[in-house]
């Protein structure tokens, strides 16, 4: 590389290297997009349409990205670039729609959608969480919904989740970082051919005619959200996907009371705690580097 008389690399040379790298990145992006198009075409020839959102593959891809990340560029910036690329490639052959929870702050929901799925999808705000569930359940399999997670829900929207309609497929943020952008806790709803029985975390609709058992956390059960009414309490629970429904019933009984209703309504990949601290609230797996 050309240098100044004192042996230092010039600014012009450094900028030339940046231009070369930019060219390689652009070429790699085009190559990746062509491969995604070929994959989707192969799916189509087999009578199967590739979904805009594949939660299992998405989780694996982001895990690999996080594990190999190093250097001064913030991980959140790399994640956003990575997700925007995946979203754009996946949307090349589809017309994806993301239904947004209108009960949450719209600006936060827009940030969440754009950060995690890019700018290729159409965003459709709904009036509330129940409308998101209905919209995803009645739409094509390519549509997804974003529902903000609140401790106390205004209505038990998860009652509308079903095997034939919408169900929980992912939890956001997936990469847990201190002071990260687009950090609104949320669930991703989608339709698919299965309940993702191999998911790290299983999600259940549970209902009690009395009060919510007070020792659920002691049994490894997280209450994602709950709704209290005159008839009792509804709760959306998260627990290890390795447990059977009967195991979950026994855990609830050990916590104080077995639910009157218990049904699995989805599952998701365990979020990554990229800061390296234990994070029970998110059920995150610690990133070892």
Look at residue 288 in the predicted model and tell me its pLDDT: 34
What's the mean pLDDT in 259-270? 96
Estimate to the nearest angstrom the gap between the alpha carbon of 75 and the chain centroid: 17
pTM, full prediction: 0.87
Look at residue 44 in the predicted model and tell me its pLDDT: 64
Look at residue 280 in the predicted model and tell me its pLDDT: 46
Indicate if the pLDDT at residue 8 is higher than 70. no
* Residue 208 burial (C-beta neighbours within 10 Å; 0-12, 13-18, 19+): buried
What's the mean pLDDT in 140-159? 92
Most confident region among 52-56, 141-145, 206-210 by mean pLDDT: 206-210
pLDDT in tens, 83-139: 888 888 877 777 789 999 999 999 999 999 999 998 888 999 999 999 999 999 998
Domain ranges in the chain are 51-286
pLDDT in tens, 155-211: 999 999 998 899 999 999 999 998 889 999 999 999 875 556 679 999 999 999 989
Indicate if the pLDDT at residue 281 is higher than 70. no
Contact 276, 286 (CB under 8 A): yes
Look at residue 33 in the predicted model and tell me its pLDDT: 86
């Amino acid at each position: 590389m050309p240098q100044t008389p004192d042996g230092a690399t010039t600014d012009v040379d450094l900028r030339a290297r940046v231009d070369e790298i930019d060219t390689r990145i652009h070429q790699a992006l085009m190559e990746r997009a062509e491969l995604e198009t070929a994959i989707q075409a192969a799916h189509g020839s087999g009578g199967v349409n590739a979904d805009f959102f594949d939660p299992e593959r998405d989780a694996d891809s982001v895990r690999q990205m996080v594990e190999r990340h190093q250097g001064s560029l913030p991980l959140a910036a790399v994640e956003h670039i990575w997700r925007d690329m995946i979203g754009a490639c996946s949307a090349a052959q589809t017309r994806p729609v993301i239904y947004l929870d209108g009960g949450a702050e719209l600006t936060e929901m827009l940030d969440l959608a754009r950060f995690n799925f890019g700018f290729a999808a159409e965003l459709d705000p709904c009036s509330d969480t129940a409308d998101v569930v209905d919209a995803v359940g009645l739409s094509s399999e390519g549509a997804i919904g974003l529902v903000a997670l609140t401790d106390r829900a205004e209505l038990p929207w998860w009652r509308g989740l079903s095997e034939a309609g919408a169900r929980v497929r992912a939890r956001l943020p997936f990469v847990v970082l201190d002071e990260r952008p687009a950090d609104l806790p949320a669930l991703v709803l989608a339709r698919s051919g299965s309940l993702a029985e191999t998911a790290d975390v299983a999600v259940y609709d549970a209902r009690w005619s009395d009060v919510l058992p007070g020792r659920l956390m002691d049994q490894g059960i997280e209450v994602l959200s709950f709704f209290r009414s005159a008839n009792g309490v509804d709760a959306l629970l998260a627990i290890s996907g390795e447990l059977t429904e009967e195991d979950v019933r026994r855990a609830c009984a050990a916590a104080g009371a077995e639910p009157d209703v218990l049904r699995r309504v989805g599952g998701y990949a365990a979020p990554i705690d990229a800061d390296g601290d234990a994070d029970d609230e998110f059920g995150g797996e610690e990133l070892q580097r």
